[in-house]
């Protein structure tokens, strides 16, 4: 079993199309926070809140998430 990379309340970057051949889709990343780590039997890995002004909550796979490096 693969260990989950992210934890609840951790900020991440969400990319809807990380494997796209088009850089405009592959490079589009939105800030999100992990709300829930789903169990291993679920088809998705995480439930996230996307912080883009739309208040979207979405279930996603781990390959759509990237570490968020805060820079001050």
Domains delineated in the chain: 11-67 (2.30.30)
Q: What is the pLDDT of residue 69?
A: 84
pLDDT tens by residue, 9-26: 999 999 999 999 999 999
In the predicted model, what is the mean pLDDT of the chain? 92
* pTM for this predicted structure: 0.86
Decide if pLDDT at 42 tops 60.
Answer: yes
> Taking the C-alpha atoms of 46, 2, 14 and 67 in order, what is their torsion angle to the nearest 10 degrees?
120
**Angle, alpha carbons 61-67-72 (nearest 5°):** 150
């Amino acid at each position: 079993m693969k260990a989950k990379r992210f934890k609840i309340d951790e900020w991440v970057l969400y990319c809807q199309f990380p494997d796209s051949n088009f850089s405009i889709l592959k490079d589009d990343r939105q800030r999100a926070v992990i709300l829930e780590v789903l169990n291993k039997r679920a088809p998705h890995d995480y439930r996230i809140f996307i912080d883009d002004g739309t208040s979207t909550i979405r279930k996603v796979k781990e390959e759509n998430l990237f570490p968020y490096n805060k820079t001050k």
